[in-house]
């Protein structure tokens, strides 16, 4: 079960990383487009404002993605702790069952 949670967390982490990389690529493409338009001299002030606005929005999205990745990492760690605790408890239950069986074998039944 831990491997499933771990695999799922890793998958979410990888997906978030890919989305983050895609957004960075979009920003780089926007900056390149802005540079081309400025060189051409066509509506450069509009493009600068549009690109600056998009860049600011992407910066916010990147910050949110980073925060989400940190939260996912913490969740992954805590799920691991919970899994370990559950496994220890399950092991203890089995040990108690064995002790009860041993006590039942040793104790004669009085009727």
List the chain pLDDT tens, one digit each, 111 residues. Answer: 456 677 887 888 888 888 888 888 998 898 888 888 777 776 667 777 888 888 888 888 889 999 999 999 999 999 999 999 999 999 999 999 999 999 998 866 655
Task: Give me the pLDDT at residue 2, please.
Answer: 53
Task: Give me the pLDDT at residue 108, please.
Answer: 63
Task: Give me the pLDDT at residue 82, please.
Answer: 97
Task: Give me the pLDDT at residue 15, please.
Answer: 84
Q: Per residue in 23-62, is it b (16+ CB within 10 Å) or e — as a string?
A: beeebeebeeebeebeeeeeeeeebeeebeeeeeeeeeee
Domain definitions of the chain by residue range:
12-77
């Amino acid at each position: 079960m831990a491997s499933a949670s771990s695999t799922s967390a890793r998958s979410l982490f990888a997906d978030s990383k890919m989305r983050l990389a895609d957004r960075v690529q979009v920003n780089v493409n926007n900056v390149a487009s802005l540079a081309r338009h400025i060189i051409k001299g066509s509506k450069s002030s509009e493009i600068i404002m549009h690109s600056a606005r998009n860049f600011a929005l992407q910066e916010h999205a990147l910050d949110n993605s980073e925060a989400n990745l940190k939260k996912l990492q913490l969740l992954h760690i805590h799920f691991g702790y919970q899994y370990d605790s559950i496994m220890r408890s399950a092991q203890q239950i089995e040990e108690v069952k064995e002790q009860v069986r041993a006590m039942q074998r040793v104790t004669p039944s009085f009727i």
